[in-house]
Amino acid sequence: MTELTCIVCPIGCRLKVDEKNNYAVTGNACKRGEVYGKNEMQNPTRVLTTTVAIDFGMHSRCPVRTDGAIPKGKLFEAMDILKKVRIKSPVKCGEVILKDILHTGIDVIATRDM
Ligand code: SF4
């Protein structure tokens, strides 16, 4: 049995996931917690939020995020790639900065106009 805190919403339910019983989840107040608990044990993923360097912008860094969750085990590798990315202003919120990061099928997008 593994104990987790559900991070899907601010309530933060304490979950218990039973690996020996098909990853049965208890302690969740809603269905989203069950899905989170099962995924977290079998294939944990996260949306990556960070910044990339930008030239000619009002600031030197532009906030970006993945447009979906990527495997948790690839977060550091994705950060290494994004450290080397340098874009030019103007950039629109939602604009794709990097397509298909690490062949995940997930794009990195800008999260503000700059
Ligand atoms: S189980 Fe549901 S209510 Fe509880 S923290 Fe997760 S999403 Fe929120």
32 Cβ closer than 6 Å to some ligand 1 atom = yes
Q: Whose CA is nearest to atom 2 of ligand 1?
A: 30
What homologous superfamily is domain 49-110 in, according to CATH?
A: CPE0013-like (3.10.530.10)
Nearest CA among 47, 50, 37, 46 for reference residue 83: 50
Locate the domains of the chain by residue range.
2-43, 49-110
pTM comes to 0.82
Ligand 1 center to residue 17 CA distance, Å? 14
Ligand 1 center to residue 5 CA distance, Å? 9
* pLDDT class of 57 with cuts at 50, 70, 90: confident
Ligand 1 center to residue 7 CA distance, Å? 7
Do 42 and 74 touch, CB atoms closer than 8 A? no
Give the model's pLDDT for residue 103.
Answer: 97
**Chain segment 61-96, per-residue pLDDT in tens:** 999 999 999 999 999 999 999 999 999 999 999 999
28/44 Cα distance (integer angstroms)? 17
6 Cβ closer than 6 Å to some ligand 1 atom = yes
